[in-house]
Amino acid sequence: MHAPTSRPSQQKSQRTIVAILIAVLVAASVAAGMQWRKAQLLALSAKATPAPALPQDVEAAKALGNYLARLRAQIRDHDAAFQRLRREGALAWHIRDQVEIDRDRKVIEQFLATNARLTDTLQHGEGLIRAELETAEVPPTTRDAALALYAKTQAPLLPMQLRIRHCDEVIGKNGLAVLDLLDFNWGSWTRNEATQKLNFDNTVTLALFQDYVGKIEAAANERKAAQDELLDFQRRNSTP
C-alpha cells in the first residue's frame, strides 16, 4: 500500500502540471500567429517549474510532453506549407503551362493536409491529452487536475484558433477550385503580363473565377480578424 501523498507534494504536482500546460498553450498560440507571447510564457514556465519529486509528476510531464511534441510538429509542418504556398505563388495564378497547374495543385494540397491535421489535434486536444495520461497510468486526481486546467484555459481560445484553421481550409479549397477551372478551360483564357490579370473568353468562367477568388480574399480577411481578436484576448488576459 502506498503512503498518502502529502499536501506539499500535491501542490508541487499541481505547479508542474501548470507549467507544462503553459507550454502546451504557447504552442497552440503560435499556431494562431501569437509568437509575441511565446517568450513571456516560456519565461513564466521556467520560474514556475519545480523539479518533479514524485513518479506521477514525471509520468504526467512525459504524457503532456507527448501531446506538446505532436502539436509543435504539426505547427512546424503547416507553417512550412504556408511559407511554400507564398514563396511559390500558388495563389497568384502565374501559369504559362499546364504542368504548372499540377505543381501549384500539389502545393495547395499539402497546405490543406497540414491544416487538417492541425485542426484535428486542436479539436481533440483534451481527448488526446487524456489518452496520453491514461496510457502513462497517471493517478486520477493528477489526470483530472490537468484536464480541468486545460479545459479552462483553452475554452476561450479554441473557437478563435478553429476560425483561423477554417479560413485556411476555405483558402485552400477555393485555390484548388481555381486551378481546376483554369485546367478545364485551358486555351479559353490568357494572362496579361502588364496588368497580371487573367482574361477569359467565357463570361460564365469569368464569373466562377471571380467567385472563387472572392472567397479566398474574404477568408484571408477573416483570418486576419481572428488573429487580431486572439492577439487582443491574450493581451487583455496576460499577467503583468
Give the model's pLDDT for residue 14: 53
Is 201 contained in some domain?
yes
How does residue 1 score in pLDDT terms, banded at 50, 70 and 90?
very low
Taking the CA atoms of 64, 65, 70 and 71 in sequence, report the sign of the dihedral they define: positive
Q: Is the pLDDT reported for residue 142 higher than 80?
A: yes
- The answer to whether the CB of 31 falls within 8 A of the CB of 71 is yes
Give the model's pLDDT for residue 21: 55
DSSP 49: -
How does residue 45 score in pLDDT terms, banded at 50, 70 and 90?
very low
Q: Is the pLDDT reported for residue 186 higher than 60?
A: yes
Which of residues 158 and 240 earns the better pLDDT score? 158
Helix (H) or strand (E) holding 13: helix 7-31
CB atoms within 10 A of CB 94: 13
What percent of the chain is predicted at pLDDT more than 70? 75
Is 155 exposed, middle or buried, given 0-12, 13-18 or 19+ CB atoms closer than 10 A?
Answer: exposed
Give the model's pLDDT for residue 35: 36
Is 17 contained in some domain?
yes
Q: Which residue, among 99, 97, 35, 78, has the nearest Cα to 171 in the 3D structure?
A: 78
Longest dimension (CA), the chain: 82
Count of structural domains within the chain: 1
pLDDT digits (tens, 9 = 90+) for 52-99: 445 566 777 787 888 888 989 999 999 999 999 999 999 999 998 999
Is 67 contained in some domain?
yes
Give the model's pLDDT for residue 41: 36
Helix (H, G, I), strand (E, B), or coil: what is residue 201?
coil
Q: What is the rounded distance in angstroms from the CA atom of residue 218 to the CA atom of residue 143?
A: 41
Q: What is the rounded distance in angstroms from the CA atom of residue 9 to the CA atom of residue 219?
A: 49
Give the model's pLDDT for residue 12: 53
Is 2 contained in some domain?
no
Q: What is the rounded distance in angstroms from the CA atom of residue 174 to the CA atom of residue 157?
A: 26
The domain in which residue 162 lies consists of 7-236
Is 168 contained in some domain?
yes
Taking the CA atoms of 151, 155, 160 and 162 in sequence, report the sign of the dihedral they define: positive
Placement of cell 468562367 in the chain: 205
Give the model's pLDDT for residue 116: 98
Which of residues 53 and 16 earns the better pLDDT score? 16
DSSP 136: T
Q: How far is CA 164 from CA 74, 76, 127, 160, in A?
A: 15, 16, 21, 7
Is 196 contained in some domain?
yes
Task: Give the pLDDT mean for 153-158.
Answer: 85
Task: Give the pLDDT mean for 96-110.
Answer: 96
Torsion angles phi and psi, residue 178, rounded to 5: -65, -45
Is 1 contained in some domain?
no
Task: Give the pLDDT mean for 42-51.
Answer: 40
Residues near 124 by beta carbon (within 8 Å), at least 6 away in sequence: none
Which of residues 166 and 10 earns the better pLDDT score? 166
Task: Give the pLDDT mean for 99-120.
Answer: 97
202-220 as b/e: b if 16+ CB within 10 A: eeebbebbeebbebbeebe
Is 143 exposed, middle or buried, given 0-12, 13-18 or 19+ CB atoms closer than 10 A?
Answer: buried
